[in-house]
Structure 1
Amino acid sequence: MAQDITLGTADAKVSLHWFVDYTSKPARRIRDVMMRTAERFPTEDVCLTLRFLPGSAPGAQEAARAVIAAQGQGKAFDLHRALFERGRALDMHAIEAAAAELGLDVAQLRADMASEATDAVLADHRAEATAGHINAAPALFVDGRHYEGAWDEDSLIEAATKPLGYRWRLASSDFFEWAASAGMVLILATLAALVAVNIGLHHWYEELKHLKIGISIGEGGLNLPFEAWVNDGLMALFFLVVGIEIKREIVDGELSDMSRAALPIIGAIGGMLVPALIYVAVNWGGPGAGGWGVPMATDIAFTLGIMALLGSRVPTSLKVFVSALAIADDLGAIVVIALFYGHGFDGHALLLAGVVLVVMAGLNLARVYSRLPYLLLGVVLWYYVHESGLHATVAGVLTAAAIPSRRGANLAGVAAQTAAVFQAELEAASGSSRGIGNRAFEVLEGAMDRLREPGLHLQHALERWSNFLILPLFAFLNTGIVLVGMSFDLFAPEALGVILGLLVGKPLGIALAVWIAVRLGLARLSAEISWMQIIGAGALCGVGFTMSIFIGSAAFDGSTLDTVKLAILIASALSGVLGAALLWVAGRPAR
């Protein structure tokens, strides 16, 4: 912008955009930090640019306009410093007094403050803040990126100089926060498995899968293949995360209000029933009829990842609908796994699992919010569920259900508490360089912990491990299919049932169920969503992948399992392409 107020040269190596509000107490407190940070760089290395985001306090607008107007007389930064030094109680008299002390032409300043050029500068700055998701000052952008670190000189200098470690943190943060990243890692893990077994590493791959790993305590213990530890053990953590997500949506999310939840729940039911019925029709009376649960599942990571890649062509209301539908679908898949895909039955172990679950429920009723007891008991529950013959991953969902929920803390109260803690630390420091005390840290940690319910803290701690380690490991160990010389029959009942179930049954079941619900007045479709988008979203839900392979591994073995896995991969790929194409066309700007 031609009117930019800068300290430093425009072609400097580092660009800092500082959003200020002269009446904001936090902004006033960090202004010295900002100025000292800029002054520690040579002039040619950093350019500090002021951006104005005045609030609603008296004098905020006038102060911002005055500094912008002072740029015409070459005294913008001088007035900027003077207004910060005047205190928060700013009015036109105080602003004009400060301008007069600096030798500014007050009459000209007053005229420039009311000019259209000043209006345009403020409008541009507010638009820039809105684009960067900034609601209030202070805020800082370093080379166009919103700075979210600590407001102290050393941290700011590190953000500006970007040493290797800092760049690595930024890159990893960008990757993990990219909605499609989890799906991309799953694709890479699948391709790695397919490549490994088809270039002569099949023997090594099988040895890895069947590597025995034992854990023993006294006379008891488990000695399972590595594949079983992943499929039954680590995947229980994945189901724990899924269970927490489901519970949160039911307690205080899209599934908590039946008026909002009706449509995605009905859509999910249709999206499970129709694929299962298609599979049963194709496999009626055959040996593969027990695999009817395979095409029922939806892989939420791939589905939402593809929708994220489509950007603005997918309306927000459709993303919310599909998210809620996928969560309801996960709940249905968990029930199916628990009831129909266990192995054997041991009543004694099941009874002990029930005892553990009762203890966890007791902790819940006693409002024990610490997560450690639930995790320790969850491990014991997993062991007994595994020994009972039910699928061990059900223990993850049961643990999630046992973790207590609670309403979020009063935000105003916690904000006042943390402000008081920091104020006490500032007064105790009284100009010294000592850091924050241990007791203050403990108080702040307790306050922050209270802002979220216990399950959400646990989900936050486990989600990346689940998305970027557990699921890729599961995909790697379960998709190593030898394609060279494989006699894959597309029309084998098991393969055809899976492909038709996912590719045809999912969009048909979801669209039909939603149409019936809307026609009968059971639910209402958002005006943003067209029927083609419903069909496209239904096709995307045909990307079964993780959950479908999981159910397939529980239902089949041997060469039939390889056939079913390959059918899942084919159907998921076709569903992803079809769904993305339909949503791309349905969401084109000309629509």
Structure 2
Amino acid sequence: MLKRILLTPIQKFIKLESFSGILLLAATLLALIWANSGYGSAYQELWQYKIGIVTDSFEFKKPLILWINDGFMAVFFFLIGLEIKRELLIGELNSAKKMAFPLFGALGGMIVPVAFFILLNNNPETFQGWGVPMATDIAFSLAVLNALGSRIPLSLKIFLTAFAIVDDIGAVLVIAIFYSGTINTTLLLIAAVLLLLLYFLSYKDLYSNVTLVLVGAVVWFLFLKSGVHPTVAGILLAFSVPVKQRIYTNAFLKKLQQVYNKLKASAISQKPILSNDQLKQIHDLEHYSYEFQSPLQRLEHKLHGWVAYFIIPVFALANAGVMISSDVELDMALTFHIVIALVLGKALGIPLLVFIAEKTKLITIPSNINYYQIIGVAFLAGIGFTMAIFIASLAFSNSPQYIDSAKIGILLGSLIAAVVGYLILRFAPRKEDLL
């Protein structure tokens, strides 16, 4: 029973991310076909169409693609922030021992691909793309992993999810530090004060979804205008959401019993409506149920579907449409450097640091995982897609040539990584087969 309770949320998360990966693939293929069809110009015009708020004294209009990349992706990063906070406090990263295995994998998966890109790159104009091969796309990689069914132990899926989350932390820091514009410190200080206010309210158990949304919208706007990418605001806002419940299990069960007893004692109406007493008990039950849920868990649950089934596919549809036959001349060197950094950088970096950490007794690899499987997962980590395209759009925002070249490199590298990783994991012996 305890095992089922603990594993069910992880299994549900993995299943959700798996289907999201399939939807993401469909959106990517649609974007590529659309952009290279006879309606390619309509594809470009759609995402460049400006929408916003215009009054006599105020105008705030942005192209649709920037609303997606700056607005929708802030929600995506907010969800990542919730996941990071949960994992750090009560999940797979809540102790040094638990964090060690995926942490070393993530470090290898970030450092080595970046090193590959820097060593290969000899064009100063494309140097800023060094952050592109850092992150792993959880949705796509888990979709491939789940396609292998029972051959893959749950601990390997948890390892992939955990180090992908650590990768995301690294990518967020890189975006905040290296891919933000000229910083307006005044606006940033105002945003910091508002964030501290939210943290204080959370600490005093005065958290409110309404307050989070209203203050969060202002903080997002301030980050946007300050020069720091507004998706960073999403991460910081997530840390203001409390993880603790207002009513714990024993107290909730007592309240539940009281509601049950009062409902049982209430007069039963012959009409298809509730009596005032029954209505009061139902309202109390709803209130107690709401208080019983962790605000962080409740928000994470509500947002997962929106992010997995809408925001990320829309992001892919808007950003993956590279016009292969366009007049823009591609930089094939940049394309191949990204492919090599994603595929070989991840495939070598993750197992290498895990191996060194194990031999130096810094980590313990779960007993049902072997190095064949770690290498296979390392290749899957080369599926950089969502975060890689996002960083590429920031790194080469003023160069259509480089951004298209980078996107092709990301798509090609992710495809190679997915196929090779799948084949290795499909035919690799399991730990029990080696005994």
Instruction: Work out whether the TM-score is over 0.5.
Output: yes
Q: Are 2:223 and 2:230, in contact at CA under 8 Å, matched by a contact in 1?
A: yes
1:507 equivalent in structure 2: 347
**What aligned pairs does 1:305-344 form with structure 2 within 5 A after superposition?**
305-344=143-182
Q: Aligned pair 1:583/2:431, yes or no?
A: no
Q: Distance in 1 between matches of 2:59 and 2:234?
A: 20
Q: Aligned pair 1:438/2:276, yes or no?
A: no
Give the counterpart letter for 1:189 in structure 2: A
Q: Aligned pair 1:391/2:234, yes or no?
A: no
**Aligned CA distance change for structure 1 residues 524 and 217 (closer, same or farther; 3 Å):** farther
Q: How many angstroms does 1:321 deviate by?
A: 1.2
1:571 aligns with one of 402, 406, 413 = 413
1:278-315 CA-partner distances (Å, limit 9, x unpaired): 00111145311111100001001111222122111111
**What aligned pairs does 1:1-400 form with structure 2 within 5 A after superposition?**
179-216=17-54, 219-284=57-122, 286-400=124-238
**Aligned CA distance change for structure 1 residues 408 and 314 (closer, same or farther; 3 Å):** farther
Q: Distance in 2 between matches of 1:527 and 1:585?
A: 19
Q: Are 1:314 and 1:587, in contact at CA under 8 Å, matched by a contact in 2?
A: no
Q: How many angstroms does 1:481 deviate by?
A: 1.0
Give the counterpart letter for 1:346 in structure 2: N
Give the counterpart letter for 2:240 in structure 1: A
**Aligned CA distance change for structure 1 residues 191 and 386 (closer, same or farther; 3 Å):** same
2:404 aligns with one of 547, 557, 562 = 562
Q: Distance in 2 between matches of 1:407 and 1:261?
A: 25
Larger Rg, first or second structure (1 or 2): 1
1:28 equivalent in structure 2: none
2:9 equivalent in structure 1: none
Q: How many angstroms does 1:585 deviate by?
A: 1.4
2:374 equivalent in structure 1: 534
2:251 aligns with one of 405, 413, 427 = 413
1:521 equivalent in structure 2: 361
Q: Are 1:182 and 1:467, in contact at CA under 8 Å, matched by a contact in 2?
A: yes
Give the counterpart letter for 2:336 in structure 1: L
Unaligned runs of 5+ in 2: 6-11
Give the counterpart letter for 2:280 in structure 1: R
Q: Distance in 1 between matches of 2:221 and 2:17?
A: 34
Q: Are 1:265 and 1:325, in contact at CA under 8 Å, matched by a contact in 2?
A: yes
Q: Are 2:357 and 2:363, in contact at CA under 8 Å, matched by a contact in 1?
A: yes
Larger helix percent: 2
Q: Aligned pair 1:426/2:426, yes or no?
A: no
Q: Distance in 2 between matches of 1:409 and 1:340?
A: 42
2:390 aligns with one of 531, 550, 570 = 550
1:401 aligns with one of 233, 239, 243 = 239
Give the counterpart letter for 1:567 in structure 2: G
1:227-255 CA-partner distances (Å, limit 9, x unpaired): 00000011100100110000000011111
1:43-97 CA-partner distances (Å, limit 9, x unpaired): xxxxxxxxxxxxxxxxxxxxxxxxxxxxxxxxxxxxxxxxxxxxxxxxxxxxxxx
Q: Are 1:189 and 1:475, in contact at CA under 8 Å, matched by a contact in 2?
A: yes
Q: Distance in 2 between matches of 1:464 and 1:269?
A: 29
Q: Distance in 1 between matches of 2:329 and 2:156?
A: 37
Give the counterpart letter for 1:498 in structure 2: I
- Aligned residues: percent identity? 37
**Aligned CA distance change for structure 1 residues 485 and 364 (closer, same or farther; 3 Å):** closer
Q: Distance in 2 between matches of 1:277 and 1:530?
A: 26
Q: Distance in 2 between matches of 1:540 and 1:257?
A: 26
Q: How many angstroms does 1:464 deviate by?
A: 0.9
Q: Are 2:184 and 2:227, in contact at CA under 8 Å, matched by a contact in 1?
A: yes
Give the counterpart letter for 1:376 in structure 2: L
Q: Distance in 2 between matches of 1:240 and 1:523?
A: 30
3-state SS in 2 of match to 1:526: coil
Q: Distance in 2 between matches of 1:547 and 1:292?
A: 13
| Count, aligned residues | 420
Q: Are 1:288 and 1:493, in contact at CA under 8 Å, matched by a contact in 2?
A: no
**Aligned CA distance change for structure 1 residues 219 and 364 (closer, same or farther; 3 Å):** farther
Q: How many angstroms does 1:177 deviate by?
A: 5.3
Q: Distance in 2 between matches of 1:244 and 1:564?
A: 29
3-state SS in 2 of match to 1:523: coil
1:516-551 CA-partner distances (Å, limit 9, x unpaired): 111111110111000010111111111000000000
**Aligned CA distance change for structure 1 residues 318 and 486 (closer, same or farther; 3 Å):** farther
Q: How many angstroms does 1:217 deviate by?
A: 7.2
The 10-residue stretch of structure 1 (379-388 or 475-484) with the greater mean CA deviation from structure 2: 475-484
Tell me the C-alpha RMSD between the 2 structures.
2.4
2:311 equivalent in structure 1: 470
1:256-291 CA-partner distances (Å, limit 9, x unpaired): 011111110111011000000100111145311111
Q: Distance in 1 between matches of 2:104 and 2:223?
A: 31
Q: TM-score normalised to the size of structure 1?
A: 0.67
Q: Higher relative contact order at CA 8 Å, sep ≥6: structure 1 or structure 2?
A: 2
Q: TM-score normalised to the size of structure 2?
A: 0.91
Q: Are 2:245 and 2:295, in contact at CA under 8 Å, matched by a contact in 1?
A: no
**Aligned CA distance change for structure 1 residues 230 and 409 (closer, same or farther; 3 Å):** same
